[in-house]
Amino acid sequence: MTTDDAQPRETAGRDEAVDRFVERFAAQLAEAGMQRMPARIFAALLASDSGAMTSAELGEQLTVSPAAISGAVRYLAQVSMVTREREPGSRRDRFRLHSDQWYETLTSRDMVLKRWESSLRDGVADLGAHTPAGRRMEETLAFFEFLEGELAELMERWRVQREERFGQRPVR
């Protein structure tokens, strides 16, 4: 067997491994609450060497329609998990993972927590802290405040560890 004969088999084996990873990881993300198509697209981008793919490439790999890709990448962009960029010299968009996608995702969740905290504060004030509903809201508020503080410390520790391990810091 020549080197040329071995290459297609290795590529086919890698493609199958990528497909297995994408479907397995996407299923886990879906079990955790992410919609299935955004989960599949995110996993496909994560498993791609470049971390970026066009809508056509995603559609071909996942065997789905352009409409399914469009809605899913719109959602992923809204939750700061991917960015849309124009391919140089083309009218086609590429969808790219953030180099620090988990940091970006958790940071955007931090903003959601702040909005929830504000609503809960209003709810406690409106319903009264001494009512059963007000106490429940106050406990929920305390949990979110605790989570927000822990998340900030956790993200700082991650920035330090990431720099030590990979030599890069996420963009703030």
The CB-based long-range contact list for 126-130 (8 Å cut-off, 24+ gap) reads: none
Estimate to the nearest angstrom the gap between the alpha carbon of 47 and the chain centroid: 13
More confident call, 148 vs 58: 58
Q: Are 35 and 75 in contact (CB under 8 A)?
A: yes
Average of per-residue pLDDT across 62-74: 92
Using one digit for the tens of pLDDT, what is the confidence trace for 124-169? 999 999 999 999 999 999 999 998 888 888 888 988 888 899 886 5
The pLDDT assigned to 20 comes to 95
- Which pTM was predicted? 0.70
Enumerate the domain spans of the chain.
3-97, 101-166
For the chain, percent of residues with pLDDT exceeding 70: 83
Average pLDDT over residues 62-73: 92
**Residue pointed to by tokens 């998340």:** 151
CA dist 34 and 76 (Å) reads: 10
DSSP state of 48: S
According to the model, what pLDDT value does residue 4 have? 47
The CATH number, out of the four listed (3.90.79.10, 2.40.40.20, 1.10.10.10, 3.40.50.300), of the domain defined by the range 3-97: 1.10.10.10
Terminal CA-to-CA distance of the chain, rounded, Å? Answer: 51
Q: Is the pLDDT of residue 101 over 70?
A: no
CA distances from 45 to 72, 113, 128 (A): 12, 27, 48
> Between 115 and 62, whose confidence is greater?
62
Beta bridge partners of 85: 94
- 106-126: average pLDDT: 85
Which pLDDT tens digit goes with each residue over 139-151? 999 999 998 888 8
